[in-house]
Amino acid sequence: MKKAYRQVVILLIGCFWWGALIAQEHQQVYTVSAAGVEEPYELVLVYDSAQFPAYFFRDIFTPVCLDSVCKPVRIKLFWDLLGNYLRYEVPPDEPLTKLNHEEFAPEDHERLQEILSNEQSLLKDFKMEELVDRNTQKLSDSVDAVTGATKNTVKSEVIEGALYTCYTLWHLAHGPVVGEIQKRTSAMLTDPMLHRFLRDTNFHYVYFALNEVMDTAGIIHPDFLPDVLSVLAGDNVFAARYVWQRIDLRYFAEREQQERLWDIFERTPYTQQLALLKRMSALVLDPHVLNDMASGLSKLNPTLFKQILHVIAAQDLLPSFTQEKLLTYLTSADQEKSRLVYETLKNHSNLDEPLKKQLSLYKKP
Amino acid sequence: MMYSFFKTFRLALILFFCCGRLAAQEQILVEAESFQEKGGWVVDQQSFPVLHSSYLMAHGMGRPVKDAETYVHFPKKGAYRVWVRTKDWAPYPVGPGKFKVYVDGKALAPTFGESGDSAWKWYDGGKVKVDRDSVSIRLQDLTGFNGRVDVMLFVDDSQQITPPNDLVALDKLRNDLLGLRAKRKEMGHYDLVVVGGGIAGTCAAISAARLGLKVALVQDRPLLGGNNSSEVRVHLMGDLDKSYYPKLGRIVRELDNGDPGNGNPNAKEYGDARKFAIIKDEKNISLFINTHVFEAETENNTIHAVIGRDIETNQEKRFTGTYFADCTGDGTLGFLAGADFRMGRESKQETGESFAPDTADNFTLGTSNLWASLPVDSVTSFPETPWALPFSDEYHIDEVQSDWQWETGFGNFNTITEAEQIRDHNLRAIYGNWSYLKRHKPEKYAKRELAWVAYIGGKRESRRLMGDHILTQMDVQEGKMYPDATVTATWTIDLHFPDKKNSLYFPDEEFFAGTKHVRVAPYTIPYRCLYSRNINNLFMAGRDISTTHVAFGSTRVMRTCGMMGEVVGMAAFVAKEHQTSPRGVYQKHLAEFMGMIKGEESGLSIQPKYLQQ
């Protein structure tokens, strides 16, 4: 019994040790030396449970200074793998403070997170000494104790009473560390990482990976085609448009691929539908897809109706079913639709007799 | 009792004007903007130059507005076919502006406003049976998202009549059925007819009236102040205290209600009541609000009269005058009278300005529809907006309130002929972004609600009427003092462009602006920029004065525009006293006029009435 108990304890200790060992492996520490700018500092890469790189962080102990007056700030800043700022943490026993050592309230933390998340903050273009009107500043024992002197242009970019804290942290979050992180991510980039990036909800990863797997002519590394097509079909309309505007149309030469494209069209938001139609005229469309398009015309608003007509009319050959559908619009009571069909098809050189005849009989309303 | 009588009388008048009928054909036309009870629907006249009419709109910021209702007298009982002139304002692919029409309590079969077609058109509402003299027509908004109705037509069902969409034929139909011209009213003769009751027009009217001129101030909205009214909520900019002539700016100061910033959720901050109170005290001013001027009678390049139409009742009014001032912003009166104008940017070669583009184009600054949200006690929801502009984690505007950057135009749209599309594009941006924020950033927005969204656009630029001098960038930057230097301007050369990131995500559909302020030393605007070079009795004040596009970037702010109005009032006084034209003031009476500008009335050959007293 005792032996069994001992074995269980040993096993537990072993598990704990193994767990601790693994946990240790979940982080990689880099020492960054930025020439002539700062002291060397540690940048930590954290891996997720699947051993994929997840994010970077840095423990910072920095003075927030103006002239000779400084106060220390201890804070942990987090970035994604491309150096985009994510969030911060402050130790409970060393809170951030404002004017006259007043602790940050919850709303100040919310505001600071907003400020630090704004990559385009006006703080970017300011030097520290430009933040205040030098004629009006009055320093007390706190460096953020600048009363009534913050320049109007940066007032909306900082927390009142924490001007220099905001400024210093913003420049740490968006400073040279960004390049350091990108350098390290590029160095460890693998295909599995790119697959994950392309399906990540972080849009920065998606664009980064797209640029890695797709060249300027829109040719995609074959291993990544399904991932890229998932971006095209995805919810991020901006990324989908980015793919569609660049992708080589060779990937939509066959019926199956075109049917998938048409399926995407039917499910995608309106603006993306218009973007899809702009390039679809350049495809030689399969008859089945053309028939699907012609069948769907009745459900469309006038703008989409017109755009799809242009796609159809751009085809050298139109299947009979498609032509029959168009014929029904040409003879319908809806004068606007019949006019559009007439205008779009009147110069088509390869139509069946019934449609040709009806076009010749058409009279403008 | 008296109030009740007047209310009934007013309703009867409205009823009389809103419904037109042609006995022979048994057609009854009902203008939506003339509904007796508008409920939560609002009157929009911003597209009058395109539609030749105002319309009624359900502006509920996503919450259905209260029904609008009116009663229509039918001279003959029987079956009528109902036509409703409306549109789908956001057909992407189907818009949200859905509404139902009830005739005598029964809903017409179609739901309107969701056709997917952006053109204003007549829609067949089906047949109704009318078996009483007076029948109620009710508009029921279904979404709060800007459904709109221009006009309705009841046609004897035995006649196969489809109402026309062609504007000329439609004008004729309106005129025939409503008797617009036949019922036109003469409003009398004025020394100065000021068209446009924004800051510039209001200042012009007050300035002239205080010098003893009989003035008509004609404004196309129910409020004064234009972009500074609570309908638009743009704050006043430009300095008054750096003026070369301290007297100028006094009237602007009276109208100035303090600086609440742009888009403040508190309407009262913009001082609508203050503006009315000041005008009310001016005995020489006859104020005509809700009157859109759409026609000018001219002869030999001289305006004799202007015709306005009430944006609600459609009552037409004719004003004759000795002098006219175009303070419309759009240069509407100048355009109607045939005044020379420019719209868009001149080329560098044409003006020699370093900020001008290499080739001339149609680029104009845009229009803002400002908005604001306020905190509420509990979590609230906002509808999904698939018809609006799309936003995502990648791109959205994380703001609780708008500022000047929310702006559409930039040459993508014509700010006059596509004013409706511009406003609607702004609404698609506002609602799409707000819907995204409510759904995806609950920690910040769950307990906030849209408190106010402007349906009247704050327009920055459209036509510029040409005067004897065209102010340029060089005039502005070099601070040239011409002998007729009047208004002192201080605002930067502030030319807006689409924000770069916004352009990336919404190419050719930008709704967010950026600018680069080019600072200028205080400079002066010559009087010759304030009257038309080819219409003999036409003054201008406001954003439509004679400048290049680049110089306009500085002159356009409202305190500066208000001072232009003050100058025009003085010039009209001098012109009247000497029975000369605006140009005559410059050519023959400049010293006297400049004496007034400098506050040296004692040197005038003719004393203003208030000095004589």
Domain harbouring B45, CATH code: 2.60.120.260
B21 located within any domain: no
DSSP secondary-structure letter at B524? E
Of the candidates B116, B387, B505, which has its C-beta nearest A302's C-beta? B116
Instruction: Look at residue B95 and tell me whether its pLDDT is greater than 60.
Output: yes
Q: What is the pLDDT of residues B467-499, one digit of tens each?
A: 999 999 999 999 999 999 999 999 999 999 999
User: How far apart are alpha carbons A20 and A14 in whole angstroms?
Assistant: 10
Q: Which of B150, B178, B206 is the endpoint of a domain?
A: B178
pLDDT band at B26 (very low <50, low <70, confident <90, very high): confident
Bridge partners (DSSP) of residue B217 are B194, B287
Residues B228 and B309 in one domain: yes
Residues of A in contact with B387 (CB under 8 A): 270
The pair phi, psi for residue B336, each rounded to 5°, is -65, -30
Residues of A in contact with B92 (CB under 8 A): 270-271
- Domains of chain A, by residue range, sit at 2-96+105-178, 189-268, 284-365
* Tally of domains within chain B: 3
User: How far apart are alpha carbons A89 and A78 in whole angstroms?
Assistant: 8
B353 located within any domain: no
B424 located within any domain: yes
Q: Which of B178, B209, B241 is the endpoint of a domain?
A: B178
Residues of B in contact with A114 (CB under 8 A): 398
What is residue B3's predicted lDDT score, i.e. its pLDDT? 44
What is residue B198's predicted lDDT score, i.e. its pLDDT? 98
- Residue-range definition of the domain harbouring residue B559: 185-348+460-612
Rounded to the nearest angstrom, the minimum Cα separation between B143 and chain A is 20
Residues B448 and B504 in one domain: no
Averaged pLDDT, B329-339: 98
Residues B262 and B395 in one domain: no
Higher pLDDT, B287 or A5: B287
What is residue A157's predicted lDDT score, i.e. its pLDDT? 78
What is residue A122's predicted lDDT score, i.e. its pLDDT? 82
Q: What is the pLDDT of residues B176-220, one digit of tens each?
A: 999 999 999 999 999 999 999 999 999 999 999 999 999 999 999
What is residue B160's predicted lDDT score, i.e. its pLDDT? 85
Residues B439 and B324 in one domain: no
What is residue B1's predicted lDDT score, i.e. its pLDDT? 41
Q: Which of B428, B459, B490 is the endpoint of a domain?
A: B459
Which residue on chain B is closest to A156 by alpha carbon? B399
User: How far apart are alpha carbons B201 and B559 in whole angstroms?
Assistant: 12
* Contact present, B575 and B582 (Cβ < 8 Å): yes
Q: What is the pLDDT of residues B47-87, one digit of tens each?
A: 999 999 999 999 999 999 999 999 999 999 999 999 999 99
Closest CA to B90 of B34, B143, B43, B152: B143
Q: pLDDT averaged over consecutive 10-residue blocks of chain A (365 residues)?
A: 67 62 71 74 94 95 71 92 97 86 89 90 77 57 52 74 87 94 96 97 97 97 97 94 96 96 94 94 96 91 94 95 93 88 91 92 77
What is residue B8's predicted lDDT score, i.e. its pLDDT? 47
Contact across the interface for B116 and A300, Cβ inside 8 Å: yes
Residues B124 and B239 in one domain: no
Pairing assessment for the beta strands B27-31 and B145-156 based on DSSP bridges: antiparallel
Q: Which value, to the nearest 10 degrees, does the dihedral of the CA atoms of residues A195, A199, A203, A205 take?
A: -20
User: How far apart are alpha carbons B437 and B422 in whole angstroms?
Assistant: 22
* Contact present, B317 and B184 (Cβ < 8 Å): yes
CATH at B514: 3.50.50.60
Name the average pLDDT for chain B. Answer: 94
What is residue B281's predicted lDDT score, i.e. its pLDDT? 96
Count of pairs with CB atoms under 8 A, one residue in A, one in B: 48
Closest CA to B327 of B293, B286, B303: B293
Q: What is the pLDDT of residues B380-410, one digit of tens each?
A: 999 999 999 999 999 999 999 999 999 999 9
Q: What is the pLDDT of residues B411-459, one digit of tens each?
A: 999 999 999 999 999 999 999 999 999 999 999 999 999 999 999 999 9
User: How far apart are alpha carbons B353 and B473 in whole angstroms?
Assistant: 6
Averaged pLDDT, B536-552: 98
What is residue A332's predicted lDDT score, i.e. its pLDDT? 85
Determine the residue type at B245. Answer: Y
What is residue A33's predicted lDDT score, i.e. its pLDDT? 83
* Contact present, B277 and B291 (Cβ < 8 Å): no
Residues B387 and B519 in one domain: no
What is residue A335's predicted lDDT score, i.e. its pLDDT? 86
The pair phi, psi for residue B282, each rounded to 5°, is -90, 105
Q: Which two tokens stand for residue B129?
A: 């049976």
Contact across the interface for B395 and A238, Cβ inside 8 Å: yes
Residues B374 and B327 in one domain: no
Residues B190 and B174 in one domain: no
Instruction: Look at residue B613 and tell me whether its pLDDT is greater than 60.
Output: no
Round to the nearest angstrom and report the end-to-end CA distance of chain A. 100
Residues B103 and B136 in one domain: yes
A299 three-class SS: helix
Residues B538 and B477 in one domain: yes
Instruction: Look at residue B5 and tell me whether its pLDDT is greater than 70.
Output: no
